[in-house]
Structure 1
C-alpha cells in the first residue's frame, strides 16, 4: 500500500496521538525522503506537542522540497509568531497570501501579526479582508471574530477633559539634583519602608494637592509595588500638573510595558528621549518594548545605540543577544552573551551572570561535546545551517548514525552538512 506509514500517521494525528504520528511520519520519510507533505504533517504534530523549534525545522524542509506548499508557509508563520520572530512570520504569511489571495485564515493571521507589530491600520485591513472571505465561505463564527477584532482596534472617541490652567509663573518644584527629598523617599521605599514613604507623600499632598513631582514619586513607588495601573494614573497627574520631566515618561513607559501596552510604552520612551537623548537606559527600555512586540530589528538598533553611549552596559549586550537569537543571527548572539557574562562576572552580579550563561548554552554546542575530537569550525558550520538550534543538529546526526553505523563523529557531521547543502541546492 502506497504511503502506508503516512496515512497511519494522519489517523493518529486526528486522534491526537501526536507522538505516534511523528513515529509514522518519520518512518515514511525514511522510505520517501523527498515527501514534502510528510515533513509538513510531522511539523504540525511537533507543533501540537509544543516542540515549536522542531516544527519550524520540518516546515522549512517541506518548503525546500515544495516552495508552493501554502500550508507550510502558514504553519511556519504561526510557529514563528509563537517564537516572537515577527519579521520572519510576516514574511511567511505574505508568501502564503501571494500564493492564494483568497486564503481567509492567512489574512486573519496577517492581521494578528501586524497588530503585534504595531501596524493598527494594516491589521484592520487584513481582518476586514479575512471577514469578507469568511462570509463567502459561510463561516459565520470566524467572520464574527474578525469583526470583533476590528472593533477593538478602531479608535474610541475621547471624552472632553477639563484642563486646569496654571500661571506661567508657577513655582511647582523641579528635581534639580539626586539627593533631594523625593529621591530619599524612593530610596526608603526600595529599602522596604514603603508605608512610611507613602505616608510622607500624603503629607506633601495635604500641603499641595497639585504637586506634580509628588505624584511622580508616588508613581515610581507604585511601580515597585507592581501596581502599574495606579502608577500610570499618578504619572498622568504629574504631567497634568506640569511636571514635564523625563523620569515621568520613562517610568510610565515601563509601567505600560509591564501591562503589555508596547505601543504606548514606545511613545513614552520617545518623549523621554527627546528630553534625555543621551540616556542609554532609555534606549534599552525602548529596545525591550520593540522586542516585546516582535520588532527584533528595531530592538537591535536601540541596544546598539545604548552601547554606543555606554560600552560596558551588560544588560544592553544581553538583551541584544536575545534579539539576535530571534532573528537567527547566532554568532552575534553568542558574542553578546559572552560579553554580557564577562561584565556581569566582573561586577559580581552572579544572578545575571548565570542567566547570560544559560542563554549562551541554549544556542551553542553542549560543553561535553567540545571535548570530543571534533573540529569546532565544522560544528559551528552545522550550527549555522540549522539556525543555531543544536538539538536539531543532534537529531540529524542520530539519523545519520542509524543509517551509517560505525563511522567517526566527524564523518557524521560532514554527512549531515553535505545533505543539508545538497537539499538546499
Structure 2
C-alpha cells in the first residue's frame, strides 16, 4: 500500500490559506478512486518541526505533500510551539529529505516560490514538484485535485503533474505554468502492486548466466591459450555488453527492453541502492572494457617465441620434431624471466599465416616450417618470422643530421640436420631473441657461439644470416669496424645480399667514409633496383659531401619507390634547407610528420626552417613539440632559446640555454648563445665567462672568440679584444667582421694605420660593408687626410643612405675645410635622419657662427643643452654661447 502524507501549515499572523479545502479535495479524489485500497491518506495539519520528523519516521510515506507558505530562497514556513511562523531553510529541508530518501519517492510543495526548495530536495528524491512563483489558493487546489485524480487512477508522476497543470488551464486560470517538476524518470509510477510477466526474472537470470559463460570462455582463450585474437575480443566484448544491458535493465524502472517489462526489481526494499549499483555498473563496465581492450593491445612484457608444429610429407610423422625444438629452446631459457617459449599446436604452411598467428599471440619470433626424413637423418627447414625488430634505432652522431635506414632480415629460412645441428639452431635463436630486445652484448655472444658450431663439413648452416645479424648488433653498439668485418663475411658467403651491402654502407657512412658508403649503396641498388632505403641512404652520403642536388635526386627516387618512407621526406627537407629553400623543406617536413607524428627530429628541423624564415612563433611551436616527444633534446632547447632571444624574451631564452647546458654540459653552442644574450644585455662579465667555456669545449669556434672580443671592447680592454680577433681571423681568414672590429680596437688605441689596414681587408672581403668605409673615414680624418676621409664617407652614404653619423662626419670635415654650404647641407640631412644628433647641431652652429649668422648659431647651440647630457659637449656649447653673447 502506498502512503501519502499531507502536511499543512498556516501560522498566526500569516495570510489565511484555504488548506482545509485542499485536503478535502484530495480526500474526495481518493474516495472516487476504484483502487483506493492501494493508497492510504495521512493528514497532518498545523505541522511543527518536531511533528514533521516524527510523522515521517512513524508512517514512512512514499509521497509527501506540503501545503502552506513559501518565502523563495529562504525556505518554507512551518509553525513553532506557539503557533507563530518559523522558517525552515532550504538547506535544512534538503538534508532532512536526504535522511528519508530510501522510502520517499515524490515530494509535492504546494507553496508559493517553492521551486528553490524543490531543486535542493531533488538531489535526494527522484520526483519533486514546486511552484516557480506565487500561486493563488484556487489554482493550488485545482492542481492538487488534478494531480491526485491521476495518481489514484494509476498514472505515473510525470503524467499526474501534467493533469494537475491541465486542471488549472481548463478553469481558465493563468497559473497553469507555475508548477514545475524535477524528475529523473518520466515513467516513474507510484503504484505499489505491479504486474510483471512470470518469465521476467527467469529471463534476467538466464541473461546474466549466459553473459558470464561467454566472458569465461573469452578469459579461458586469453589466459589458458594466450590468444588475444579476434575471437577472444568478440567473446569478451559480448560478455561485457550483456552485463551492461543487465545493469540498464535494473536501472530504468519502467522502460522496456526487447519487449520485457522490467519493473520486477521494484519489489525489493533496497531497490534504490540496487539502482545506484546498476548505474555504477553502466559507467564502470564500459571503462573496464575500454581499459581491458587497450591493455590487450599493449605489447607484452615477455618475449614470446611461438613454435608451430612442423609439417612433413613422410609416411611416418611421429618423429617428435616440434617437441625436440620446443624442449631445447625452453631449456635454454629456463633462467630467463623475460622469455616465454610457446607451442601453437598447429601447422603453419605460409608466411602470411605465420605473421597473423604471431600478431595474435604478441610473439616477437614465429618459428615454423617442415622436415624431411631420410635413411640417415631428419632434415629440418625452419622458417623464422621476426615480427618486432629494433628498426628505427640508430646511433646518434651530432654532426650527422640525415637519418639512415638500417635493413633487417624479417623472414628467412635455415637448412640443418635435426640430429647434429640443434645446438646451432638453439644458439642462433637465443641470439635472435636478445637482438629483438636490443640486448646487443648478449646477442653477439650467442651469434658467436652459433658460428662456432659450424665447421668445414657443415656449410649448409646459412652462416651469412648469423654474420648479418651479428654485424648489425655491432653496428648498434657503434663498433663500425667489427660490423663491417661481419658484413664482409656475409657478402662473401652470399654476394647477392643487397641488405648486407646497404648495412655495410651505413657503417661506412657513420665512419664518415662517404665514398665507400656510396659504392656499397650502388651495389645494393644494382642487386635490387627497387631498394628505396638504399636510395635514401645514398642521398645521405651525397648530402654529407655537400652535393645536395644528387642527394635530392636520390630522395626523389626513394619516395617514388616507397611513398610512405618518412625518412626520405625528412632527409630531402634537410637538403632543401641546405639550399636555403625553406618552403620546400617545410613541405617535406610536413609530409614526414604526417607519416610519423612521433619523430622529434623532424619537428626540430622544421623549427629551424621557420627560424630562418624569421617565423619565430612557428619555430617555437615546433621546438615545443620536439621537446614534448624527447624531453632530453638539448638542441631543441638551445634553438628555442635562440627564437625567444630574437623575440626579445630574454628570460625564457636564458632558461632554455640553461636547460640545454644541464642536459649536455659539453654543449659549446649553448654556452656561446647564452653569452651572446648576456652581451646584448651589457652583462659583459657573464658573457665573457660563457665564451670562455664555449672556447674551452670547442677551441675552433671562431665566433666565440669574435664575440668575446666585442665584450672586451665594451670593457675597454682593447688588447684582449685584439687577441681574440686575431684568433677568430686565424680560424676563419675570410671573417670580414673580425677584421672590421679589430680595426675599431686599433682605432680606439689611436693606431690609425693599423685600423686602416684592417678596414681595407674587411672591405676587400665584403665590399658592401658600409661601416668599414665610415670608420676608415674616421681614421683618415684623425690622420687629417680629409679628402680620403670624405671619399669614404661618400661610399658609406652610398651603401647606407640613412646613416646619419656619416652625414654628420662629412659635415664636420666640410666645416674644417670651410666649405660652409656643403657643411650645412650635410648637417641638415643628419638632423633630418636623427633629430637628436647633437654633434650635428654643434657643427652646424659653428658653421653659422663662422658665416656670421649669430641667431641661428645660438639656436643650434641651445638645442644641444636641451638634448644632451654629454658634459664635455655641453661645456663646449656653453663656451661658444658665451663668446657669441659678448659680440
Q: Normalising by the residue count of structure 2, what TM-score does the alignment of the two structures yield?
A: 0.22
State the structure with bigger RCO (CA 8 A, min sep 6), 1 or 2. Answer: 1
Q: Normalising by the residue count of structure 1, what TM-score does the alignment of the two structures yield?
A: 0.44
The structure carrying a bigger helix percent of its residues is 1
> Which one has a bigger Cα radius of gyration?
2
